[in-house]
Chain A
């Protein structure tokens, strides 16, 4: 049995505002194991981002608990990578300075980490842009910088909230493939929210389907694809014979009416 990284126990969340209360999520139970990437798909506004914020310890759930590596997350022990739809690079910092932002805030920045940042940037094809500013990079490169900024902190696991949805289609395929390969190579555990069913199947080991708001877990689907040796990358996985089957299954479960 693999180690459990995240333990989500019966989470519920209700937002209160003057207009009334909004029950965003309800009775969510989920364990995430080391080295796996779990996808979350669900209708718009059902509470996916809320769930991620709770797991990251940024907001308190109304009920239930979340344990990361057996501990409750708080500001002092938080070690979770978070990636957003927008890359959130700081325009006034060059790429290297952007990559070390988290270290700087945690007071860990030293020459060793600078060295590591340079190495990561070199490895991921950004070596020539270390001293460039974000505005000089393409959308895909910027999202790669955001990933390096996350990975350099060696997080226990990663929360990815539609990280590719702001990119154009081709870039999106290329970058999701690349990032998927990186995450697997580094053995990272992650939770990926996406609206793109194909992306979820190609990147994830399991896909959680959420219901309309309040979000509950409708079904968890294990993705088992047969890929030829050496083609077990997100792009390769799209060619697996079972791909269509999973696509249809998730699409039906989502039950989207327009």
Chain B
């Protein structure tokens, strides 16, 4: 479609859409700003107990302090590192196991009930055991994060692998394809959308694993800050940590979305 030669009606249509998008964006910002202002005002006039809720300007001052002495980046760095390693590990291992299950129907059936059980089990319940076994440092936290995302990865990817059209596999067989070629030429590429969905889910799950792990053992990290803030009743530390967590998760999600767009050309 060319940019030129668009009718008046179409031009109106486009500008009305643009206007609407803009209104939505402005409203979104407004909701955020009004929410924060109400919070601040309520705290200022003592409508709410700031000991329990803290308030935006206090959180901001704390944030500036933590940034200045560099502590904040230390904590963020550690948590992000643990999450990225856990996320990559969980996704990669889950992906490999799923390929194995696709390859061997026998083992897929053998492991099926175990996977169902593991999937319904809250993985965070395993965290204390994992930390005792693996060690109370980064490694324990990372393995906890892996344990949270790996089962979902296996199930999602396996589900996607076996949903490839029978006739498509038949077609490849008429070409004389080997099982490995079927995997590489059709099963894996057709599972890219499922993989991207899994990546999105795994970001959140890996954070759950890391924060739980940090609650239990760590001496640093965002989870540590939250627990510490809670223990000394400094709610501003807790609030700040939660905000930071939200921002980083969204950033990671955006990165996956960018990867997704790269694959979306067809």
By Cβ-Cβ distance, the 5 closest A-B pairs, closest first, are: A133-B266, A102-B175, A82-B174, A105-B175, A84-B167
- Shortest CB-to-CB span from A174 to chain B, Å, is 23
* A92 in contact with B189 (CB, 8 Å): yes
Cβ–Cβ < 8 Å partners of B168 in chain A: 88
Q: A101-B175, A105-B176 are in contact. Are A86 and B165 (CB under 8 A)?
A: yes
Chain B interface, number of residues (Cβ within 8 angstroms): 20
B 136-192 contacts with A by CB, 8 A: 165, 167-168, 170-177, 181, 185-186, 189-190, 192
A17-31 contacts to B, CB under 8 A, are: none
Given contact pairs A75-B173, A81-B174, A85-B167, enumerate 20 new A-B contacts (beta carbons under 8 Å): A53-B170, A58-B170, A58-B174, A75-B176, A78-B176, A82-B170, A84-B167, A84-B170, A90-B186, A90-B190, A91-B266, A92-B189, A92-B192, A92-B266, A101-B175, A101-B185, A102-B175, A105-B181, A134-B266, A135-B266
User: Please, how many angstroms separate the alpha-carbon atoms of A101 and B167 in the complex?
Assistant: 15
Measured in the bound complex, the distance between the Cα atoms of B193 and A91 in whole Å is 12
15 contacts between A and B (CB under 8 A): A58-B170, A58-B173, A75-B173, A76-B176, A78-B174, A80-B174, A85-B167, A88-B168, A88-B171, A91-B190, A105-B175, A105-B177, A106-B175, A106-B176, A135-B266
Min distance, Cβ B142 to any Cβ of chain A, angstroms: 33
With A90-B186, A90-B189 already in contact, the answer to whether A105 and B167 are too (CB < 8 A) is: no
- Residues of chain B within 8 A (CB-CB) of A135 are 266
Interface residues of A in 104-145 (CB under 8 A from B): 104-106, 133-135
B167 pairs with A56, CB closer than 8 A: no
Query: Complex: how many Å from CA A67 to CA B176?
Result: 17
Measured CB to CB, the nearest residue on chain B to A52 is B170
Which residues of chain B in 224-266 are interfacial with respect to chain A, using CB atoms and an 8 Å cutoff? Answer: 263, 265-266
Contact with A along B187-210 (1 / 0, CB 8 A): 001101000000000000000000
Least CB distance, B185 to chain A, in whole angstroms: 7
Distance A83 CA – B158 CA, assembled complex (angstroms): 28
**Which residues 2-17 in B have Cβ within 8 Å of A in the complex?**
none
With beta carbons under 8 angstroms apart, the residue of B171, B173, B263, B266 that contacts A84 is B171
**Residue in A closest to B192 when the chains form the complex, CB atoms:** A92
Contact partners of A91 in chain B: CB under 8 A: 190, 266
Interface residues of B in 28-72 (CB under 8 A from A): none
Chain A residues within an 8 Å CB radius of B186: 90
> Contacts A76-B176, A88-B168, A88-B171; is A105 near B185 (CB within 8 Å)?
yes
Asked if B165 contacts A88 (CB within 8 A), the reply is: yes
Would you call B174 and A56 a contact (CB within 8 A)?
yes
Query: With A and B bound together, what is the CA distance between A78 and B265 in angstroms?
Result: 34
For the complex formed, measure the closest distance between the CB of A201 and the CB atoms of chain B, giving whole angstroms.
26
Q: Which of B173, B186, B189, B265 has the most CB of A within 10 A?
A: B173
Q: How far is the CA of A81 from the CA of B174 in the complex (A)?
A: 7
**Separation of A85 and B165 alpha carbons in the complex (Å):** 12
Nearest-neighbor residue (CB-CB) of A80 within chain B: B174
Q: Report Cα–Cα, A153/B177, bound state, in Å.
A: 14
B170: which A residues are within 8 A, CB to CB?
Answer: 53, 58, 82, 84
For residue B264, give the distance in angstroms from its CB to the closest CB of chain A.
10
Most chain A CB neighbours (cut-off 10 Å) among B170, B173, B175: B175
Residue of B nearest to A58 (CB): B173
Tell me, in angstroms, the Cα distance from A53 to B266 when the chains sit together: 31
- Which of chain A's residues have a CB closer than 8 A to the CB of B190? 90-92
A84 proximity list for chain B (CB < 8 A): 167, 170-171
| Chain A residues with CB under 8 A of B192 | 92
- Interface set, chain A 200-214, CB cutoff 8 A to B: none
Q: Which residues of B contact A101 (CB under 8 A)?
A: 175, 185
Cα–Cα, bound, A153→B263 (Å): 29
